[in-house]
Amino acid sequence: MSLDSNIPPARLRELPTRPGVYLFKGPLGEVLYVGKAKSLRSRVRSYFGADAARDLKTTELVRRAEDLETIVVGSESEALILEANLIKTHSPRFNIQLKDDKRYPYIKVTTKERFPRVFVTRRTVNDGSRYFGPYTSVGFVRQALEVVKRLYTVRSCRYDLPREAPARPCLDYHIGRCLAPCVGLQSESAYRQMIDEIIRILEGDTAAVRASVEAGMREAADRMEFELAARQRDALTGLDVLARIQRVQRFGGGDYDVIGLARDGALATAVALRVRKGTLLGRDTQRFSAVEAESDDALIQSFVSRYYLGRGRTGTTDLPREILLPVDFEDRALVGEILTLEAGRRVAARVPQRGEKRRLVELAAENARQALEDRVVQLEDTVDRADRTLYDLQDRLGLKVVPRLILCFDVSHLQGAETVASAVVFENGEPKKSEYRRMRVRGDWGNDDFRSMQEAVSRALSRRVREEKPLPDLVLIDGGKGQLGAALAGLRDADVSDVAVAAIAKREEEVFLPGQSKPVRIDRRARALHLLQRLRNEAHRFAVSYNRTLRSKRTIRSELADVPGIGPRKQQLLLERFGSVRGIRRASEADLARVPGVSAVLASRILAYLGKA
């Protein structure tokens, strides 16, 4: 037995001969390495024999290992699955380091929901949803979603329908982006039929949908509904792009996952191309690090076992009929057997040597080389930037609804005098100045900003309800926790309950949300934060300008109202002509007398009262 081992020899002799998983642990109990074996005793003892052939990594592993844990399972198949799960859980230092490449997005269709949603995600979980992708280009996935948005009215909210149905539809309904299934204006069967068509498009079957859209375009043109016809024409263009991309990615009509590998020193990248019905739907890219001493077959075995067998498989929910590999590895047949049992039909793992399938493996290798050389994929601006900002804001604040309609409030006063409030409105990320509102605070609250904010929010929301205007998806308050509480009280006064509220504090740019003790911190470079800052600044500007106007009028009254013969109308004319009281002082009697209603006598009187005579 080797003298550099910290594992007692008696412990090694007592190991079981059954299949299982072994874990080498360090001095602090941390997992250093996870492995699987047909016979735990034979495999583990091979590390410690005097004649054991060790590379540098294995030598260092044996030197550091302070403890050994084994888990016995019923078969070698179970050992392989458990090994993959434990590696994912512990990320042991001495295992091949495989890291998910989060660059590539998927399109997710939440088919398990009664009213499914369609959105972009970079994380896949086994939740029964349909995942399309991953896509090598963010531009492609956004292009596909843009076509879906033009053709269909998929809900963008996050309500758990019908359990969390809101009291009224959001702005998406009013602008034609959703038919409001949340309040029963679209039936579940009609909505599900729409989702089925979307899935067909994402699977590459655009021909039937294209014929339907083209017929609709012609009918709209015949009815002289030219705006609708133009939207249908744009959708046709998008469908043609999708079809053209699919045509150049046809591979013999089969269902394959094609594995490719590329290496460069200590780095390596593996890809899995997903081919379904001969159409390349996307690829999953993952990368290795510190693998200069590893063989190609070891890398492929590590990738395949964790990709298909590890907890939370990153591939799609359906399994292919064949997995095409660049090289053979020890557990290839075993992986095929496990996946066959899981799929309920044969799943073969093969290493093609020639023909079309070999060319597919070479294509996968080219994809792997491209991914290895280009780690950063540039985002393509194929959809409106405002939409991306709003979806990002929804994610960061955990909102149920995309905040397309936002009202932002601010209060302004000077030492408790001339207290005013502003309510600015942004729709789809842009100001809607026709709906800006400013108001004098009626209550005698003095310096109490909280009571003033409560009154402003209550009055503004009550007015929208009274005028039957859409309620905002988000109410934003300039301030911290105190102003947030005041806004919530204002919503209760207006009898409005299904509106999200947030407050943004100036000093640290923290966002406070109801029911959360800690604020949300958004990256200062994020467009979502920039939008909130823009709203806050606009509300502040609008409130301050109104406060200044009122203070200016008060100054006018105090200096001009005392002049005999000067009423409100003449005050206004004088100020419009000379700009301010200072400008009036600087004017001559002749200049003042040119203002309608101001005689030479009155002009002399004005200058005398203002201290110029």
Mean pLDDT of 191-213: 81
Alpha helix (H) residue ranges in 494-611:
527-560, 568-578, 581-586, 589-593, 600-609
Please give the pLDDT value at position 398: 92
Which residues 6+ apart lie within 8 Å of 218 measured at CB? Answer: 229
pLDDT of residue 226: 85
Hey, how many other C-beta atoms are within 10 angstroms of the C-beta on 114? 13
How far is residue 34 CA from its own chain's centroid?
35
pTM of the model: 0.48
Tokens representing residue 314 in the block = 């990153």
Domain spanning 256-373, CATH architecture: 2-Layer Sandwich (3.30)
Closest of 212, 204, 104, 216 to residue 144, by C-alpha: 204
Q: Is the pLDDT of residue 597 over 70?
A: yes
| Closest to 119 (Cα-Cα) out of 420, 305, 388 | 388
Residue 146 confidence (pLDDT) above 60: yes
Contact 423, 543 (CB under 8 A): no
pLDDT over 50 (residue 316): no
Task: Count other C-beta atoms under 10 Å from residue 488's C-beta.
Answer: 18
Instruction: State mean pLDDT over 471-500.
Output: 92
pLDDT-derived band at 315 (thresholds 50, 70, 90) equals: very low
pLDDT for 500: 94
The model's confidence at residue 375, banded by pLDDT at 50, 70 and 90, is: very low
Assess if CATH 3.40.1440.10 describes domain 9-94: yes
pLDDT for the residue 613:
43
Cis check: omega of the bond before 470, within 30 degrees of 0: no
Contact 285, 379 (CB under 8 A): no
Examine the pLDDT at 173 and tell me if it is beyond 80.
yes
The mean per-residue pLDDT over the stretch 377-388 comes to 47
Average pLDDT over residues 408-425: 83
pLDDT score of 410: 92
Class of CATH domain 388-540: alpha beta
Give yes or no on whether 256-373 and 388-540 have one common fold: yes
Task: Give yes or no for a contact between 382 and 146, defined as CB atoms under 8 angstroms apart.
Answer: yes
> Does the pLDDT of residue 535 top 80, yes or no?
yes
Strand, helix or coil for residue 359: helix
pLDDT in tens, 215-243: 888 998 899 888 878 877 877 776 666 55
Q: Is 163 helix (H, G, I), strand (E, B) or coil?
A: coil
Report whether pLDDT(475) > 80: yes
CB 211 within 8 A of CB 200: no
Domain ranges in the chain are: 9-94, 106-247, 256-373, 388-540, 561-609
**pLDDT of residue 203 exceeding 90:** no
At residue 397, the 3 state secondary structure works out as helix
pLDDT exceeds cutoff 90 at 461: yes
Distance of CA 159 to the CA centre of its chain: 16
pLDDT at 8: 79
561-609 carries CATH number 1.10.150.20? yes
- Mean pLDDT for the chain? 82
At 183 the pLDDT is 92
Place of tokens 């191309």: 273
Encoded tokens for 207: 């021909």
* pLDDT for 555 beyond 80: no
> Where is pLDDT greater, at 442 or 535?
535
